Chain A
Amino acid sequence: MVVASLAFVEFLVIILARDIYLNGLHIYTLGASSPDLTIPENYIVPVRIILEVDSMSIFMAIISATVSLAAAIYSLSFMKGETGQNRFYTLLLLLVAGMFGMVLTGDLFNLFVFLEIASIAGAALTAFRTKFADTAEGGLKYIVISTVAALMVLFAIGIFYAQYNLINIGALAHVMQYTMLDKIALVLLAIAFMMKLASVPLHMWCPDTYSVAPASITIMLVVASYACLYALFRTCFTLYGVSPDMVTVGWIVITLGMLTMFVGVTMAVFQTDIKRLMAYHCISQTGYMLLGIGVGLAVLNRPEALNTYGIAAMDGGIFHIINNALYKGLLFLTAGALFYRTGTRDLNRMGGLAHKMKWTTIFYIIGALSISGIPPFNGFASKLLIYESVYRFNPILAIVAMITSILTLASFTKAFYSAFMGAELPEYQEVKEVPKSMIAGMAILAAGIIFFSLFPGLVVERLAHPATEALINQGAYISGIMGGGG
């Protein structure tokens, strides 16, 4: 049932994506007599809850749909034998709903509600296997930081409402004055979303939570954190747009992005728990996206720089989101497969598993090469876009990004060597390949990676570049809500 409904969602999302590529932005007003009646009669501002879908939203929706489909198929065997299966899948669908709500909504308060829905469902799923001692700790950390971050978002919404009596993103952007209070709201929103997407130095909950969650839930949490990344972009680009301080905000984002990249990867090399290692990589890859987008943000006021390298940097950053969701998902699933068969996440106690788990090994190799940016995989394509454009912005940033990539390769080589290589160990004589549905879940993501590797130009042209255009073009989003004038 769950798999069928998610497959249907994926189908709907792809149809909508095609339609948006051809026809542009879509609006749906909840509770109105006609879907595009955003401003009720006798009013001058929108009061209803409005869903506003443009290329950036649909880009995130495609990621959510694909990853949750893979996660649900994987869970069929992975969670077999746990108690409360019905509740598990209910929460899983709730998490999917939260992610979709976050990326498709055009309303700030709605964003907060869906953020909390996703957090609650995510935390409950993280702590789902209560038989282990550490799951409740991971879940508690996730829900505490989510609650604090979400309450700060709500406080910022309150500040907006106090000034403009509006909570709609497009309408707010239309009347934005950029006062002192708006600056406070910007800081609160930006740092709260940074907390949720695990940017250094707010990343420390991330390895704790990701490593104890069931593998299929971990990849959903990764995508949920990218939904927060999307919310950050919406705040910076659409809500505030071309305001004088965007250079500073861009540099703050770039600095945090560099820190995220470097601290994330160096801590990852050190880890001996396979899922903690991957969680730190998740942090470090987020740094690439922040870097790409931060460069775009910093040159937003300079059209000639924006056209020569700013747009390419943003293309790279956005392309990297979907790439990372795919290969990081695949890697977490292989880690889950190892845990499923060996019962441990500790790399010190693994070895020689390639003899027994051939499919898992192949999928691991695909994911590891892709995340390290080895050609011809998709990680290389998006990293190349980021390197080239960032090098023209500031060479030092590009060099740090390359060092990060090298260290990524080093740590995945370490994990590969200690888990898969070597002679067969006596304690793992009984280990078999994982069940079919887990292989199917991994195969969906692996197929996505291979498709993206072979046709990066197609993906950038059809998905990533329209998303960039949608972010830069603030006027289109506003006029979608406020009607023709803009």
Chain B
Amino acid sequence: MSISGLSYSPWSPIFWLLASVVVMIMAYFFRRRGQKKYKKDTEQTKIFLCGEEVPEAKQRHIRAHNVYWGFFETMKEYYDANIKAHTGIINDYIIWFLVLIAISAIILFIVGIV
């Protein structure tokens, strides 16, 4: 079933699935031709870290607040302003509500006059 009514590119997941099955078969075919010397559960599959000792699982896992560090560093000003706005105080939520009502009412009146 595809979504009709659009001007171009009708979207049909059935065709997409068929295409992806074809791609998977091809990928499997290429994988079959790969390295033959790989063996499970031997020294080959251990983590290799330049010959250094591998740290414990606890130290190895990168924790959530370190992920995307660069992105947050670049967007620092945006985030500082935004987090400052999210005070978590219930009174401020109502202030936003009143301000938005006032702004929308003014916009509607101005448009009504013009």
Contact = CB atoms under 8 A, between A and B. Distances in A.
Contacts of B79: 266, 270
Contact of B61 (A266, A312, A351, A388): A351
Interface of B: 1-9, 11-14, 16-17, 20, 57-58, 60-65, 67-68, 71-72, 75, 78-79, 82-83, 85-88, 90, 92-94, 96-97, 100-101, 104-105, 107-109, 111-112
B111 A248 contact: yes
Given A351-B63, A457-B3, A458-B1, 20 more contacts: A144-B90, A148-B97, A187-B108, A202-B96, A205-B90, A245-B108, A245-B112, A249-B108, A269-B71, A347-B64, A381-B3, A388-B9, A414-B64, A415-B64, A422-B61, A423-B57, A423-B60, A426-B58, A455-B1, A457-B4
Q: Is the interface of A mostly helix, strand, loop or mixed?
A: helix
Interface string A215-251: 0000000000000000000000000000001001100
Contacts of B90: 140-141, 144-145, 205
A315 interface: yes
A453 B13 contact: yes
Interface stretch (A29-37, A116-124, A163-171, A189-197): A189-197
Q: Which 9 A-B pairs have the closest CB atoms?
A: A347-B64, A457-B1, A423-B57, A376-B13, A418-B64, A422-B61, A351-B61, A248-B111, A376-B16
Contacts, number: 156
Contacts of A458: 1
A384 B72 CA distance: 29
A460 B3 contact: yes
A135 to B, nearest CB: 15
Contact of B57 (A144, A195, A426): A426
A381 B57 contact: no
A161 B107 CA distance: 25
A10 interface: no
B57 A422 contact: yes
Contacts of B111: 245, 248
B86 A267 contact: yes
Interface residues of A, number: 70
Contact of A456 (B3, B57, B60, B82): B3
A366 interface: no
B101 A425 contact: no
Interface string A124-146: 00000000000000001100110
A263 B100 contact: no
10 contacts: A145-B97, A184-B105, A266-B79, A311-B5, A381-B3, A414-B67, A418-B63, A422-B57, A457-B2, A458-B1
B86 to A, nearest CB: 6
A152 B104 CA distance: 15
A317 to B, nearest CB: 14
A292 to B, nearest CB: 14
Contacts of A202: 93, 96-97, 100
A172 interface: no
A184 to B, nearest CB: 7
B71 A252 contact: no
A395 interface: no
B82 A263 contact: yes
A187 B101 contact: yes
